[in-house]
Structures are given as C-alpha cells and as structure tokens.
Amino acid sequence: MGENGIQATSEKRDSKIVMQKSSVDEFSHLALDIGGSLIKLVYLSSNNNCAADDEEGKSPPKEDLGVPNDDINCPVLGGKLHFAKFETTKINDCLEFILSKQLHRHGNWHQEAVFNDKNIIKATGGGAYKFADLFKEKLGVNLDKVDEMNCLVAGSNFLLKAVHPEAFSYMDGKEEDVQIDHNDLYPYLLVNIGSGVSMIKVDGNGKFERVSGTSVGGGTFWGLGRLLTKCKSFDELLELSHCGNNRVIDMLVGDIYGGMDYSKIGLTSTTIACSFGKAISENKELEDYRPEDISRSLLRMISNNIGQISYLNALRFGLKRIFFGGFFIRGHAYTMDTIAVAVNFWSKGEAKAMFLRHEGFLGALGAFVSYENHGLDDLKAN
C-alpha cells in the first residue's frame, strides 16, 4: 500500500504522475451517479491546492457536501479525488458547478485518456438516462452510461481495497476501524441504502448478484418524514431525530405487558413491539406529537427494518460481513447504531454491520474507476 492507502504503482504509472504535475488545479475524469434523490460527483484534481473549491459561489454549500474532509489523496493518479453532491431536483445547480469548474472539459492529463476527445462523461444511476439530453444541451457532453449495480460493487471494492481507514464498525457510540484483508474480502453483502435499498452478494470484482432489496429506504424516511413533520430539508429531519423520543409513539413490549418483559421469548419491556403503535390507541392528532419524536420513530423503524432484512439475506448465503452504504446513513450515529444493533440482535452476534466513510459515493466511484487508463487497473483485477 502507498502512503495514502493506495496500492503501489507500476513504473508506467509513476511516469504518468510526472506528466500530470501542474501549478494550478486541473480537473479530470469527472464521473456522476444521478440517483432518484441525489446527484453524486467524483472528480480528480491535479494537485492538492483546493483553493478553487473555496471560491464564492463555485461550490455547493459546505453543509450540503454531507461528508466534509472526505477527499482522497491518490498518488497513483497524481492528485486528489473530490466529492460533491446535489439534490436531483436541483440539477441546474449541479450543471452550473460543473461549468464553473470546467469539469466537463478536463480529461487529458493522460495521453491515452479518451474521454475528453469524445466529450464523454461516465455516468450511472437512472438519471444518466433521464437527463442525457439535458447534459448534451447544456454542457455539450454525452453521458456514457455505466450499469448501476456494477458501479456500486466496483466503488465498494475500490474503497475497501484502496482506502484506509474506510470501513468501520459502530456499536454503543463507538466507531472502530476495520482492517480489510485483501485476500479475505469476499464474499460479503453490500447493502446500499439510497432512495430504495439494494442488497448485493459480492464475490469479486464484477462478480455479484443482487439478491434482495426493499422499497422502504432513505426516500421513505425523507418522504414520509417531510409529510409528517413539515421539515424543509433532509438534514433538518435528521437533526430533529437527535432530540426525539420514539417511545412516545412506538408501542413497546412493556406497554402491552404492563411494564414487564416477555422474557420467555427474549423480549425486554423496551423492545419495540409496533412502530407508531401508540398512535392507534390514543385520542391524538398529528399535531399532538412532537416532530422530534416522529422523526426518531421513523428513523428507528426504517433502520431496524433494513438491518433485519440485511441480516436475513446474509443468513441465506452464509455471509458474516455486511457493508452498508448509501446516503441515507450520512454517518449518523443513531442510524448506524440502530442498524448495527438489529444485525447483532437477529444474528445473535454472528454477523457484523460495517459502514463506509464514503458511503454515498459508491456508484460515482464505480463510474470513475470504469474510465480506461486511469492507473487503477490493479485494483480492478480481482
């Protein structure tokens, strides 16, 4: 591994790095993942001077980047990988951002690189189809569509092999880095929690099967949450959940058993018997509940459910490791804790939930590594 966690490179690649030296930021190899909720961008800058990022009006607002300080130094590419995201409904902001940095024009540091010549940008997600004409019209570029599942897997494998520390476990408020043994990575279950949820059994690079999924995902949390709380943004809804108490709305085992555990089948009095269950028995309207409690209950319900379905799929195939990605997670402690506890509880400690620091960018990274001649072929080899 190189000093920044990227695998050592061949001589040929080192010579590329020399070619790429530049006194000003140059950008190359923009790749996109245009999803149902968010557009994710990954691009490379030729040096570590990121002054351009801070220019007024040229970047998405910092709080909207979601994952601060998540740039990846990439000596093998002679630069730094940058990440940005925009809401899909604000696609014009994204186009402006690309234009302001001229991300669509730079791509020819490597003599062999072809994408600039053909005005091609690698793109994945449904929006690569839906918005192809818009990109052609506004930026004069063709979106070269890359398969979404392929990209999720390629992005996840890239991160797990090339970036350290990338994976971590989360339990009782404590984050712990996970060491990845490259020779013992597969098989694993990748659970991508975006608007919807995909569960993919990964056996190698390009070797995978989408074994399950659920439509109750991040989009459900945001959509239902917006209706129930009138929150104006996802971050606001997530923030609310910090100070909420789900027990106000959820029906617990203790509520049914007069404060007692149902210990015979291993249920404590605080186990949720029915999410939102108290709302049926009380003479209350929506306005009588605090948005904080609603958000907390909703987050708990969805995270629990995904954790449980994930575990059941891991069990189907005898997988011990489950990596969770997708922008629903947002490095949010309560979300990760709920998922980790669900996996731990249902598997009786046999399976482990792990999270990724660049959780939301798996698809975009997968599209990025699908460019030819970018120097990352070693990482794609197996």
Residues found near ligand ADP in the complex (CB under 6 A): 35-38, 66, 87, 125, 194-195, 218-219, 221-222, 234-235, 326-328, 330, 360
Least Å from the CB of residue 21 to ligand ADP: 34
Helix axes 132-139, 91-101, angle to 10 degrees: 40
Instruction: Between 107 and 326, name the residue whose CB sits nearer to ligand ADP.
Output: 326
**SS3 per-residue string spanning the chain:** CCCCCCCCCCHHHHHHHHHHCCCCCCEEEEEEEECCCEEEEEEEECCCCCHHHHCCCCCCCHHHCCCCCCCEEEHHHCEEEEEEEEEHHHHHHHHHHHHHHCCCCCCCCCCCCCCCCCCEEEEECCHHHHCHHHHHHHHCCEEEECCHHHHHHHHHHHHHHHCCCCEEEEECCEEEECCCCHHHCCCEEEEEECCCEEEEEEEECCEEEEEEEECCCHHHHHHHHHHHHCCCCHHHHHHHHHCCCHHHCCEEHHHHCCCCCEHHHCECCCCEEECCCHHHHCCCCHHHCCHHHHHHHHHHHHHHHHHHHHHHHHHHHCCCEEEEECCCCCCCHHHHHHHHHHHHHHCCCCCEEEEECCHHHHHHHHHHHCCCCCCCHHHHCC
CB of 375 to ligand ADP, least distance (A): 27
Q: Identify which of residues 125 and 244 has a Cβ nearer to ligand ADP in the complex.
A: 125
Which of residues 46 and 192 has its CB atom nearest to ligand ADP in the complex?
192
Distance CA(204)–CA(191), nearest Å, equals: 15
CB of 354 to ligand ADP, least distance (A): 17
CA distance 200 to 60: 31
Question: Residue 40 Cβ, how far from ligand ADP at the closest point, in Å?
Answer: 6
Task: Compare residues 75 and 194 and give the one whose CB is closer to ligand ADP.
Answer: 194
Gap between the Cα atoms of 224 and 253, Å rounded: 25
Nearest distance from C-beta of residue 28 to ligand ADP, angstroms:
24
Q: Could you tell me which residues are beta bridge partners of residue 355?
A: 168, 324
What's the min distance (Å) between Cβ of 331 and ligand ADP? 10
CB of 46 or CB of 338, closer to ligand ADP: 338
**In the numeric block, which tokens belong to residue 157?**
């494998």
Residue 179 or residue 215: which is nearer to ligand ADP going by CB? Answer: 215
Q: Min. distance of Cβ 151 from ligand ADP in angstroms?
A: 11
Q: Which is nearer to ligand ADP, 208 or 234 (CB)?
A: 234
| Residue with Cβ nearer ligand ADP (231 or 249) | 231
Name the residue nearer to ligand ADP (CB basis): 194 or 375. Answer: 194
CA distance 18 to 125: 34
CB of 372 to ligand ADP, least distance (A): 25
The nearer residue to ligand ADP, 151 or 376, going by C-beta atoms, is: 151
CB of 156 to ligand ADP, least distance (A): 12
Q: Which structure tokens are listed for 45?
A: 């800058």
Residue nearest to ligand ADP (CB): 35
| Nearest distance, CB of residue 269 and ligand ADP, angstroms | 31
Angle 345-266-346 from CA coordinates, rounded to 5°? 20
